[in-house]
Structure 1
């Protein structure tokens, strides 16, 4: 025996199905390089062959990966970020060092701009409206610390990860009268390094 379906039942059923499809699409968009906060980001390990020696300390950085932030914590616009593991070791029991984000600069030959904004992530501000990144890294005597370094490339309307797959990227660290340059030939490549 066949059952008749009324117009009202048909509309209710199709409306519920459409809502379920829309909800699943929103959840599918939450994966990959997009996450509301960078708490769960895992950076690739640093390559011990790329370390640079400043005398009192050594510094090293891994390959870059990408993260897109949430507009909730960026004043209404999402930002593209690069991030990488950044390791600093002091050489003896009498040496300690503090590195600030202002000691580091990022450049890309393709014209992409970026600013080093974090040497680690603290969390959200007290109002839960903005990200709070650590702006300095202090390493005590005969110690080693590894943090995630964050580079803000700007809003997604003004930046693109795609452009970083070509051209060279450099991260420059100036400290203790010396300059180290980590050079990447493309996004997600391990850097080469030199100091002068």
Structure 2
């Protein structure tokens, strides 16, 4: 599979041959969904916590005498049915993360890349670099390329000027190739790979 390489200025910079095993698969929604849920579960803080009747700060004395009042029998005001009492079966601090085989995660990444190719939402850029950190210039270059909502993946290190200029543009994410992931690929409309990123991905899945 051949794709045209362009520059940030929109000029033709040759062609690159993409591996069918990475960019030519038939995308499977079930695999993509599993990995997205796994990523979101790992991101969830899990710090939600409520006080049980054993933790709430309230007197433990018996509310009123057992007999003779004509009311229901109660012991502690910390019980969940009373205002100011503890919470019954409330959330507790825990990790929401769950296991997912490494092979499934790697397969999902290839399916996500293939989905972008199939939808014609993959753009190969010669080099993600800027001579100076000017956001206005980068915005005009992105407009020429039709990038309004995109994830840009560079090489092992992102050019400092490019990263600084792109950080102020809404709906534009910039990541090094080692940070590429299924959720970020799918949440953005376009996927932009540098030539170095393509080479690194093909080396990774060789």
Bigger Rg, which one: 2
Structure number with the higher helix fraction is 2
TM range (shorter): under 0.3
Output the TM-score relative to the length of structure 2.
0.22
Higher relative contact order (CA 8 A, sep 6+): 2
